Amino acid sequence: MPTVAVVDLADGDFLLDVREDDEWEAGHADGALHIPISEFVARYGELTEAAPQDGKIHVICRSGGRSAQVATYLVQQGIDAVNVDGGMQVWAATGRPVVDAKGEPGTVI
């Protein structure tokens, strides 16, 4: 499974957050697309509409397990996708901004 470190992500990289709604609402990366893993297959079209045509999809969850599953699925579909190593826990630990559902400072749960 291809992975990328949080520190290697650039501003503007396409980020897909596959955590559940309560996790997203508590804190997420601003600008990420949110499709919970539990709804991913049913909402797959949202991803294909939002993702850059020839760009990479960076998949993130809390620690990397769920996002690895989704990234693997996407790669099997012929999509350029990578798992974000360590997930939102590492995102927050490296000082990247986390916002809640209201756009205020959030927390990773």
Active-site residue, from 29, 61, 74, 92? 61
Is 41 an annotated catalytic residue?
no
C-alpha distance from residue 34 to each of 15, 44, 66, 75 (Å): 9, 11, 13, 19
Question: What is the layout of strands, in order, in the sheet containing 57-60?
Answer: 3-5, 81-85, 57-60, 14-17, 33-34
Could you give the residue numbers annotated as active site? 61
